[in-house]
Structure formats: structure tokens, C-alpha cells
Structure 1
Amino acid sequence: MSALTVAGPRPTRARRLLSDVVGGYLPLVLATLIVALPLVWMVIGSLKTPGEVVTQRLILLPSHPTLDAYTRASDQIDFRQLFVNSAIVTVVGSTIKVLLALTTAYALVFVQFPLKRVIFAVILVALMVPAQVSLIPNYTLIAALGGVNTYWGIILPGLGTAFGTFLMRQQFLSLPAEIVEAAEMDGAGHLVRLFRVIVPITTPTIATVALVTVVNEWNDYLWPLVVTNSAHMMTLPVGLTLLRNSEGDVSAYPVLMAGAVVVIVPVLILFAFLQRYIVAGLTQGAVR
């Protein structure tokens, strides 16, 4: 009886451990590998020679790692100018987007005006409409205004952010109404209530919207490709198209991988330092 009592919990602990591994750790490891392996393979490929990239046998690691691909990529395109263009578009566009999302969400929650529900419904519809639908109308308008190959022509059409407005609105709805009412009784106006009361207690959500917006602006490819045809005004993702690979030119593959690494490194660094804000912001804004 005592032997059964001692041995009894062991299968239970074993089953629990197996359940944790199969139901938790294994999917997490698989998802991580699916996301990380292509990036790791791209970095490794940028250090290989062309013959090691295009071969019938699998070569996991370069025999003699080299930075020649990065040197050739920098000789073909002006990374400094492309980086400046991307930085300007990202910083200006993201700042305006976040401010617009912040003020719009505040108005939808704390300001009474007609057709508020209708406006929010339109914002929800905007979340479901692909950006490609407005590509031709936007280009027609920007071209008519003379915005081709200009910073404002790249930035202007994407200033509305339905995702950021929706996420901030859901977070603002979860705030106690007494906080805003107390500030109003003290004579604080809307801007004071927003930036001195609401913003400090919703920093994780705002940081989440800012990070997602920055990444989208930095990685945006289609619209900058359409609205720019000058290498001097291209952003980094569009500038990589200048590293064209002609059919049969195996020497171009490491160069393309090197250019892609240069584009993604700033975003990866940003996520590595600020990922906790994304988790906290999405969690806070998910429920009311």
C-alpha cells in the first residue's frame, strides 16, 4: 500500500510535465524556429560566397566568412541616403500617426458629439479594407499635387491609423471615469486632461501603437515604390530593388541578402529593447 502511495504521484507529475511540453513549450519552440530560421539563414547567406549560396548540396556555414557582399551592396546603392530617407519618413510619419490616433481615441471616448458611433464604425471598416484598394486614388491625388519624389508625398496618404485609434480607444474605455471628471472639476481643458492625466497612465498602450507604427513605416514598400522613381528619394526597402538580380547571376544572391540584413537590423534592435511595452500594451488594451 505504501509503495503504491509513493509511486502514485509520479505518473501524475510525468503527465503534467508532458502536457506542459506538448501544449506549451513545443508550439513555442516551433513558432520561434519558423520565424527565426529564415532570418538566421539570410544572415549566414550574406557571409557566404556565391558558390556556397547557389549549390546542389546544402552548406550550412560558410567555409570562409566574408563581408564582400556588404561591400558590393554599398558600392551599388547609397545606403546612407536611403537610411536618411527612411529615418525621416519613419520619424515624421510615426509621430503624426500616433498623435492623430491619440487625439481621435480621446475624442471618441471623452468628448460628446453627434455621429460618434458612426465615425467609430467607419474606423472599424478601415481596419478591414486592404491598403492596395486606395493605391491608385492616392497616387492620382499626390501626383496632381506635385508630391511625387517628395517626403510629404510618401508620408501624407498613410497618416490615418485605424489600428492605433481602435487600440487606444479600447484602453481609454477601461480607465475610471472619475479620473477625468476630477481633472475637469479642477478646470483642466481637453489637452491638459489628455497629456497630463490620460497619457501617463496609458504609456504601455501608446508605446505599443508607436512601435507598431514605426515598424510599419520603416518596412513599408508598396507605396514608396509607387510614389518615388528617383534613387535620391527612395527608402531602404525600395532601394533594395536597385540590387537587381539578373537571371543566372549567382553572385547577386549574397548581395541581396546583405541588403536585406541592413534593412531589418534596426527593427530587430528596436524590438529587442522595447518588446515588453508591446506585451503590456496589448494586454491592457484587450479588455475593458
Structure 2
Amino acid sequence: MTAALTEPGASGAPGAPGAPAAAPARAARRRVHPRSALAKAAVYLLLLAAALTVLFPVYYVFAGAFMRPDEIAGYPPALVPHAVTGRNFSGAVHAVPLVRQYANSVLVAGAITAAQLFTSVLAAYAFVFLPMRARRAVFGLFLATLMVPWESVVIPNYLTLSGWGLGNTYFGLVLPFLASAFGTFLLRQSFRQFPAELRDAARIDGAGHWRFLWRILVPLNRPVLAALAVYVFLSAWNQYFWPLIITRTAEMQTLQIGLSTLRDSEMADPGLILAGVVLSLLPTLALVVFGQRFIVRGLTTGAVR
């Protein structure tokens, strides 16, 4: 009889599943203290206020692009367009060669992105898989280029490319950015996570360096490549100083230079400026929205081993 009462699993045994004493403990855990609920609500309100502060300028850029000049210049300015109009976009396109400059930005940013992906893949593969003397020292010198400010090499680059006759050309816009130490570093860290056994198995199967790189290694590192592509494209898209000094005609300038032209005194219409900014924001917003998960996955690759 005593054994039956103390048998594990009996309803009256201490700590047994389904014991009546466990019900009050579970109920106590479910209770939420009023102070903790208020603290959680305060945190959410603070996060909401921060989100609205960050998103409001973006909203007003899109809203102002469809407003009339009197709505933007009024006091207080309108927050919602009363009559949606597309005259700002047509005016911005006719004020400067914005369509040509938009195409220039797409072409230049796309070429820089493709070139940096290609050169970074090759350099990272060489640092990881190819035999090399003083590998660490060479890689350290390679990374040291990240410490050189871009402003210190602008004038030498400008004099060199102008001497070669590449000023005001697409080659002049793209050539200084064909390689990147950051991209090489990011891909090297990702390639180092590749198991050496699989590399040996591919070599036994007759896969050379080129086949192993493009058939096996690159497909397995797509998140990192996507993150690098998004980063490089956004950096190239937002360039201002280099296109400003290397180009001389409006037809060769990029979109960022065209937006600065809209701010001239003789064209000072805030609606035109906002319309041009909207056109400039569309590719970047699309990349951030759809490529955010690739950025997070790519930049955290190798963080946990």
C-alpha cells in the first residue's frame, strides 16, 4: 500500500506530473505584474516614436513629390497632397537630362558591382586555396588599403585618368572602383569556412581551380555574394564627388549630380527636387527591402563556428 502511494507518477506524489500543487505554481507564473506590463508598453511606445521619426522624412519626400508648390511652401506645410499631380516628375525630367543621368547611374553602379564581385572572388580564392609565401603579410598589406582615405587618392586618380584621355567617359567613372579590399576580406572569411575535405574530394574527382570555384564554391556562398552586391551597388549609386570632378557634360553625369543641379537658384522648385529624390530612392529602397536578409546572413557568416 505504501509502495503504491509513493510510486513515481502517482497523483499525490510530490513533483509528479499533474499534481494538484503544480496548478497554483503555473497560475503564478502566468500572472503579469502591472509594472512589467507598463514597462513593456513604454518600450513599445518608445520604439514606435523612434520608427516614426526615422520614417517621416521618407514619407514626406514621396508625399511632397506629388504636391503643388503652394502646398509645400505654405505654413504650416501640407502633410498630405490635396490634389495628386505628376507635374513635378515631368518638370524634373525636362529641367535636366535626368533620364540619361539615371541610365548613367544604373550603368556605372552595375558595372562597379559586377567588377568588384569578380575581382573579390578571385582574390579571396587565391588567399584561401592557393599556395602563397607570406600569405598573412600580403593579406595585411591588402587590408591596409582600407585605411587610406579616399580623398587622399582622388587627385592622383584624376590626373592619371585625365592623362590617359579617360575623363568624361564611362571608363573614367568605373576604373578606380574595379577592386575592393573590403569585398576580398568578406569573401575570404566566408571561403575559410569551407571544409577542406570537400576541396580534396573535388580535386580527386578531377575538378581544377576554375571548376571548383564557379561550380561549387560560389554557389555555396550566394548569401555573402548577395550581401556584398547590395553594399557595393548602394555605395556606387550614391557616389557624388568622383562623378562631379571626372565628368564635364550633363550627358555623362550621374543622377546625384543632376539632383544637385535641380537646387540651382533659377530652378528652385522644391517639388522638382523631391521628385528627383524619389527617383533616386527607388532602387536603394528596393535593394534594402528585398536584400536585407542577404545583408544580415552575409555579414554574419562565420560569426559563430
Q: Please classify the TM superposition score into its range, dividing by the shorter chain length.
A: 0.7 to 0.9
Say if 1:269 and 1:146 are closer, same or farther in 2 by CA, change over 3 A.
Answer: same
TM-score by length of 1: 0.88
Q: Quick one: distance in 2 between partners of 1:27 and 1:134?
A: 44
1:180 to 192, 199, 208: 199
Aligned to 2:288: 271
Deviation at 1:272, TM superposition (A): 2.8
Deviation at 1:108, TM superposition (A): 0.9
Aligned to 2:16: none
1:134 to 133, 139, 153: 153
* Aligned 8 A contact 1:167 1:285 in 2: no
Query: Structure 1 residue 10 and structure 2 residue 10: aligned?
Result: no
Q: Quick one: distance in 1 between partners of 2:47 and 2:302?
A: 23
**Bigger helix share:** 1
Aligned to 1:254: 271
Long gaps (5+) in structure 1: none
Deviation at 1:283, TM superposition (A): 2.3
Aligned to 2:211: 192
Percent of matched pairs sharing the same residue: 37
Aligned to 1:123: 142
Q: Tell which structure's C-alpha radius of gyration is larger.
A: 2
* Aligned 8 A contact 1:52 1:59 in 2: yes
Q: Quick one: distance in 2 between partners of 1:41 and 1:123?
A: 43
TM-score by length of 2: 0.83
Q: Quick one: distance in 2 between partners of 1:56 and 1:13?
A: 44
Runs of 4+ in structure 1 deviating by more than 6 angstroms, as ranges, are 1-5
Question: What are the equivalent positions in structure 2 for 1:20-35 lying under 5 Å apart?
Answer: 22=43, 29=48, 32-35=51-54
Aligned to 2:220: 201
* Aligned 8 A contact 1:168 1:285 in 2: no
Give the stretch that moved more between structures: 32-41 or 42-51: 32-41
Which digits, 9 at most, give the CA deviation of each residue in 1:15-58, with x for residues without a partner? Answer: 37945973xx5675455434422211111111222222234424
Deviation at 1:3, TM superposition (A): 8.1
| Secondary structure of residue in 1 paired with 2:82 | coil
Structure with larger RCO (C-alpha < 8 A, sep 6+): 1
Pairwise CA RMSD of aligned residues?
2.7
Q: Quick one: distance in 2 between partners of 1:286 and 1:8?
A: 35
Long gaps (5+) in structure 2: 1-20
Letter in 2 for 1:151: Y
* Aligned 8 A contact 1:46 1:255 in 2: yes
